[in-house]
Structure 1
Amino acid sequence: MMYKEAKEMNQQLLAWRRQIHQHPELGCRLPQTTALVKKALDDMGISWEEIGPCAIVGVIGKKEGKKILLRADMDALPMGEETGLPFASECDGVMHSCGHDCHTSMLLTAAALLKKHEEELQGQVILMFQPDEEGTDGTGARMMVENGLLDKYKPDVAVMAHMASDIVKTNQIMLKSGPCSASSDRFVVHLHGKGGHGARPHQSINPITCAIKIAEAFGDIGRYEVDVQEPTALSICTFHSGTASNIIPEDCEFTGTLRTFNDEARQFTLDRMQQVAQSIADAYRCQLTFDRPRGVPPLINDPEFSQQLHTWLQETIGQEGVDIPPMSHTKSMGSEDFSFISSRVPSCSFSVGSTSHQEQVYPLHHPKIIFDEDGLAAGAAAYAQAAYSYLTK
């Protein structure tokens, strides 16, 4: 039922998607995207409110009964587009290379389908249109949670979709169970020493030498102190210091990211990094500033809810022609700030296949990525069917 009806709405789905793709916006500044979403919801007769900058929540159904949250993110990435599509980005240096334009248009389509069947729903659908998923520290979902999303609407379960351009094939919906995406924590290490001439190092305190020792020690923490059965990725990604080859600088700074699937391992590693950095800084007589902004927790798909959703989709849209492969247990070291929802509400993230017909298939966040639009109706149907099945069975 839902797949057939989603395909009947395909022209509108693609119009929404291409309009958003052509006018990408960043972070929490999404005036054109949110205007499109608000108008679409108004046209459907769906009530909505804004609970933060460009953070929209719509509701369908009855307050009494169960509640399911469906989430779509809306922001783009700061990169130029190289796809050559007729509806390519008109905004220089901004592109929807992660598929959020697809997510938003699929959820709008699902909203239209669910509104059509509103009288059959024994509960409420909460539509979460989120800004700033691509923010460095996961500010969009966190902001909506801190602004009362879960406390006010009290969802019993939650679902999100994500495009998969190079892993899942067009017209496939892949569900995962258990650990899905890793946590993400930035760290910034700043060392202050004493500058001087490179010919007289004994008269200086070289912060570069100290920084190198700390960086080496960080690698050893991940290698020798964390349970080897707990995947941990600790990467140093920037290193800045100095202005000339014969001048010892006063300051050195390096930054990086830590990824884990286990909150205990995550906190242990971050604490040990700070302890070790301070010890080495003291030994090398440098002043240390160790900054670790609030990060994003790991995304864990609830096994029971995910399995139930997998069964429902197989029995419904799976019988209409959407391919629902066996449950996957693969993990990604990438992060996803939907984890601010999944850490409090039983949740499931599913992947929407959209492998393009290009000779070379590009991954997410690539300037040449093209999503196969033939897979969007399946994603919209999966959103709608998840809510319909949960609120009618």
Structure 2
Amino acid sequence: MGLREDLIDLRRRLHRRPEIGLDLPGTQRQVLAALDGLPLEISTGAALSSVTAVLRGARPGPVVLLRGDMDALPVTELAGVPYASEVPGAMHACGHDLHTAGLVGAAHLLAERRGELAGDVVLMFQPGEEGYDGAGLMIEEGVLDAAGRPADAAYGLHVLAALFPRGVFAARPGPLMSAAAGLFVRVVGAGGHGATPHEAADPIPAACEMVTALQTMVGRRYSPFEPVVVTVGAFHAGTLRNVIPDEAVFEATVRTFSAAAGEQIARESVRLCEGIAAAHGLRAEVRFEPEYPVTVNDPREYDFVAGTARDLFGAGRFTLMEHPVPGSEDFSRVLERVPGAYLFLGAAAGDDHRGLPGNHSPRARFDDDVLFDGAVLLAELAARRLARG
């Protein structure tokens, strides 16, 4: 088999045996086996089952980092593909199996060109993107300095099952993906009988008022040109319809596209919930926890990525995104420290992507025919960036 077929085979083997979180021993073994024989300096993580591989060019030069995430999601697969997950309750529903295989492909392509490279390439195989901050842990363990000096540029890509046509790359300069934070609220009252609410301190109406007020605050405190999203996804209170509970708790995800908006809503959401609780004679324990920063593409690096993609695949295979997307990504931690760019690749399993199940769906399907193109682009980005000096 050629490299294209090898990558598809690797992707499908990874898809059958998905692993979740930071501990991906089987995935790590497959990556190490796929890299075996290449001229790489390889190390593995301590706090997570990461793989970091350094390819040394023939001559001195800059350092370029390429990243591929490896973890799956706690989703039971319903996609109906012949290589479906064999692990109950786990699925590569976000396409990270393609990312892993694609980065392996980039390693092989770059190794073939090692003699012409002026500089070093760091290959970052990362666990724990799906809510575990694996990028942050790999940074703590030194991935940005794996070549012996700081990375000068960083690139990565993410496949999408439904947002763009198959084979089309997409990105934008500046904010590409939102910051994410969690808002956790516990409203403390005093329970009692539902027939005599005046003898209790009911936390449920106050908590409901907070949920509504958070939406009103977004619409009235923030410019319509400064997107902010607050979604309450969990609300728990009570056990019986005629019993007033002691407490009500809810959790929200908060998405922002600038550091200023994130700092503002961190202050104002806490103050709002505490104030509503006080107005009802109750107490609110409110915690705002930042999770990931905004994913921001360096404008110059965006131009470089867009130009390279158009040069390799034609103008019709790259599109400028008008708006960022409200999903979040821990590659943002890399781009906070290293100039670089992140882009998307349409991997729809159909000629018309519209209406297909999207990423994170148990029915999500990704066409692995795009895999080789992703590997080619990553390798070419590294080679051209090294040549640029």
Which TM-score applies when normalising by structure 1? 0.93
Question: Which stretch has the larger CA shift, 92-101 or 51-60?
Answer: 51-60
Residue in 1 that maps onto 2:37: 43
Does the CA-based 8 Å contact 2:168-2:319 persist in structure 1? Answer: no
Q: What is the Cα deviation at residue 212 of structure 1?
A: 1.5
Amino acid at match of 2:19: E
Residue in 2 that maps onto 1:384: 379
In the alignment, the residues of structure 2 paired with residue 71 and residue 213 of structure 1 have an alpha-carbon distance, to the nearest angstrom, of: 43
Q: What SS class does the counterpart of residue 160 from structure 1 fall into?
A: strand
For structure 2, the 5+ residue unaligned runs are none
The match for 2:282 among 280, 286, 298 is: 286
Residue in 2 that maps onto 1:17: 11
Does the CA-based 8 Å contact 1:301-1:342 persist in structure 2? Answer: yes
Residue in 2 that maps onto 1:54: 49
Amino acid at match of 2:318: P
RMSD, aligned CA: 1.8
In the alignment, the residues of structure 2 paired with residue 186 and residue 242 of structure 1 have an alpha-carbon distance, to the nearest angstrom, of: 23
Q: What SS class does the counterpart of residue 126 from structure 1 fall into?
A: strand
Residue in 2 that maps onto 1:104: 100
For structure 1, the 5+ residue unaligned runs are 1-6
Q: What is the Cα deviation at residue 172 of structure 1?
A: 2.4
Which TM-score applies when normalising by structure 2? 0.94
Indicate the structure with greater strand content: 2
Does the CA-based 8 Å contact 1:120-1:392 persist in structure 2? Answer: no
For residues 53-72 of structure 1, the aligned pairs below 5 Å read 53-62=48-57, 64-72=60-68
Q: What is the Cα deviation at residue 314 of structure 1?
A: 2.4
2:88 is equivalent to residue 92 of structure 1: yes
2:238 is equivalent to residue 217 of structure 1: no
Amino acid at match of 2:345: V
Q: What is the Cα deviation at residue 83 of structure 1?
A: 1.7
For residues 1-393 of structure 1, the aligned pairs below 5 Å read 8-51=2-45, 52-62=47-57, 64-135=60-131, 138-153=132-147, 154-315=150-311, 317-318=312-313, 323-357=316-350, 361-393=356-388
List structure 1 runs of 4+ shifted beyond 3 angstroms: none
Q: What SS class does the counterpart of residue 293 from structure 1 fall into?
A: strand
Q: What SS class does the counterpart of residue 228 from structure 1 fall into?
A: coil
In the alignment, the residues of structure 2 paired with residue 214 and residue 328 of structure 1 have an alpha-carbon distance, to the nearest angstrom, of: 35
Does the CA-based 8 Å contact 1:61-1:119 persist in structure 2? Answer: no
In the alignment, the residues of structure 2 paired with residue 148 and residue 373 of structure 1 have an alpha-carbon distance, to the nearest angstrom, of: 32
Residue in 2 that maps onto 1:3: none
Deviations 1:27-78 (A, max 9, x none): 0121100111122223323221123311221111248311111111000011
Q: What is the Cα deviation at residue 120 of structure 1?
A: 0.9
Deviations 1:302-328 (A, max 9, x none): 11111022222323x226xx9532433
Percent identity of equivalent pairs: 33
Count of paired positions: 382
Q: What SS class does the counterpart of residue 167 from structure 2 fall into?
A: coil
In the alignment, the residues of structure 1 paired with residue 318 and residue 124 of structure 2 have an alpha-carbon distance, to the nearest angstrom, of: 27
In the alignment, the residues of structure 2 paired with residue 384 and residue 19 of structure 1 have an alpha-carbon distance, to the nearest angstrom, of: 23
In the alignment, the residues of structure 2 paired with residue 391 and residue 151 of structure 1 have an alpha-carbon distance, to the nearest angstrom, of: 16
Does the CA-based 8 Å contact 1:176-1:306 persist in structure 2? Answer: yes
Q: Structure 1 pair 126/151, CA: closer, same or farther in 2 (3 Å)?
A: closer
In the alignment, the residues of structure 2 paired with residue 175 and residue 257 of structure 1 have an alpha-carbon distance, to the nearest angstrom, of: 24
Q: What SS class does the counterpart of residue 207 from structure 2 fall into?
A: helix
Q: What is the Cα deviation at residue 8 of structure 1?
A: 4.4
Does the CA-based 8 Å contact 1:25-1:76 persist in structure 2? Answer: yes
Q: What SS class does the counterpart of residue 314 from structure 1 fall into?
A: helix
Q: What SS class does the counterpart of residue 179 from structure 2 fall into?
A: coil
Does the CA-based 8 Å contact 2:54-2:146 persist in structure 1? Answer: no
Q: What SS class does the counterpart of residue 43 from structure 1 fall into?
A: coil
Q: What is the Cα deviation at residue 361 of structure 1?
A: 2.2
Residue in 2 that maps onto 1:4: none
